[in-house]
A and B are shown apart, each in its own frame.
Chain A
């Protein structure tokens, strides 16, 4: 009898579970009688936006925006390229300057001369044909654990050369450029500094100074970096210049000061710019243009920092106070022509691998 009751309980529980699992279909509220048209935006996993901001845009234009997310930047871009024959979306957001040339070569975008472009500094406009329009940027910089350096009475390194000094032996953790976007950016910064021929010598020396290499940002930041809550062993990590602000914003208890800071000395940071583009083959060109305008508009540009921890490209966009207080934008970030990156990316990474990992 006991078994039978058990059996019944088991099946009932399973039944309830399945019933509970039927997805609740949330019917979008439609204030107007006209059915909203659908706009599909393909992007990477890190994309985020306030519900408020996007809803306002949807209502204004009587449309519904659907987001298709496909892993990281690489996989999202792959998806766009692989499906370009019959595009799955109308707009693609998220290609950065390291991938830009590949996207343009693959001819996945159509040009759009957005009016807002005139409010965006020229340094961000890397595609003259206006197929890829800059939306945001972030700088990949070294972050350091402030308390560690204070306690150890150590000066914070201010140049790549400093990193080779014996006092910083074993203190730096970087990401593998083959598997990590910030890792690649940091390597590109050294390429910009030492040139395609010289950067490997720097890395050889850095390896001798016991640089730690891991595959992804998550491990580097949360496992190896001592400044994060992972309590790792290295007080210097490759991350973003916005990370210190994020540390304050995402502290379980209010912090007076950021526990970390970014090193923004000239040439030490590499600037990643993210672009949006209208996908070649869309049948909703007008709506797509509206969405691009929206992304370059102030409400979205102001919303971005706290959603994605990137900086808006548009003049006049306001930054949240934490960004102003705890994070700095480097004056002279390193940069390399996207064309050049595209051509040498593989060779540089392979050579880097040979030098650092063998």
Chain B
């Protein structure tokens, strides 16, 4: 439905977006993930028509939107700080988009009621928005954005300013509402947990480009680059030299590793390669053997519900793993990481 093609944009003389392309399919929720300042919001504003890209196109069902002004795009945008109209009541805020569509008073009343009910704010209808708490404002903003039945809903860090408990609750509601309304949505956030929870697909924006996109599982299991891996909290990275291609073996400072995934194309023996040890699936090794084994000292053990997170000190570097049983702090252990938990990162620059 929505296709964004090769968007370029400068901000204060520096390139901000350097050829961003992605698509959003019908009923899909796409999560744009990136650090703050990566241009996510600008991208949304370009899609909404609030800003012009210097290059590139925004298409809706194949139609170029360049000459369609903001108010005729029928997109919904929920702003970071909600941008509720301070001079209007909750009800009037939600009714705004409907009035702009020229609906009858009865229709508007009905729809406003319906939307407020959906976000559990019906009892607040006559209140001034300035009197609302953050969570309440968020709900009103959502109801306002959804009320005119936009073709596409964009949410810009909608939970950014809220506390954790509220976030968990609201994100569930949000997911439900998005699934139910079947409106395609772009959800912008810097929080990967939020993204994985709500997204059908995530797209990671880095250095002005989409560096990876896919389902949350795909991205998580196969981060495309060191940056992605680190951004997703996968920090067990090491650099090494390719020893063999089939099976792919890499020699690092921490031993030799057999990598479960296929070698990137064009890889040659002796090339440098980054590998990532996934924190899950490691087990304490008692037998001798040096391949796929990491030895070090346990420096920290934290209970994390489903298991224990342990921090392993290997020389100067720390690695994190999850295991089912707790281990004593200070113990020297050897961990076996099976090849399927070792992935290589397709990082061309190395």
Physical contact A–B (CB less than 8 Å): no
